[in-house]
Structure 1
Amino acid sequence: MTRVDIVYGGQQYSLGGRSIESIQAEVDAAVLSGAPYWMRVNSGGGRFEDAFLLIAPGIPFAMLRVKGDNGDDIDLDVDGVFNQDVL
C-alpha cells in the first residue's frame, strides 16, 4: 500500500492506499461539480485520526508521493484502516 501526503492550510495530512492519480481525479470531480466537497484524510502521525478537508475552487491543495530511502513507495498496510472514499 502506498501513501500520499497532502499539504493543506500549511498542515500535512495523508491518504494511504491511494495513488496520486486517483486523488487528482477525486479533487478534479469535486471542483468541477461546483459544490463544496469534504475529503476524509488522516491527520495522525502513527495512528489514524480523521480530518476533513474542504475541496473547493481557490483553496490551495498539494500532494506529495511518499518514497522510501530506496526510492520505492512506502508500504503502509495497517489493517486496512486507510480511507478508500471516492466520489
Structure 2
Amino acid sequence: MFSPDVRLVRSFLIDYLSEQDISLRQIFEVIKGEISQKQLSLDDVLKIIDKVEEDPLSVPYVPRVEKLKKLNQLRKLLKCLEDLEKEA
C-alpha cells in the first residue's frame, strides 16, 4: 500500500497527464511542498514519475509520446528542487 503522500503525488501526476485542470506549475508546487515538508525526497518523486511513465495502465488513453513530453517537462522543472532538498 502506498503512503498518502505517494498517492497524492501520483494522483496529481495522472491528472496532469490527462489534462484534468492541473497545470505544470500546480503539480510542481505540490511536489515542492512535499519535499520542503520532508514528506518525500526528490528521489522518491522521480521514482513515482518513472513508475507512472512505465505503467501503461496509469493513463492508457494518453499517447506515450505526449506522456513522455509532459513528464520530461516536469523532470526539468524539478531539477531546481535539488538545491531546496540539500538546504533542508
TM-score, with structure 2 as normaliser: 0.29
Richer in helix (by share) = 2
Please, what TM-score do these two structures have when normalized by structure 1? 0.30
The structure carrying a bigger strand percent of its residues is 1
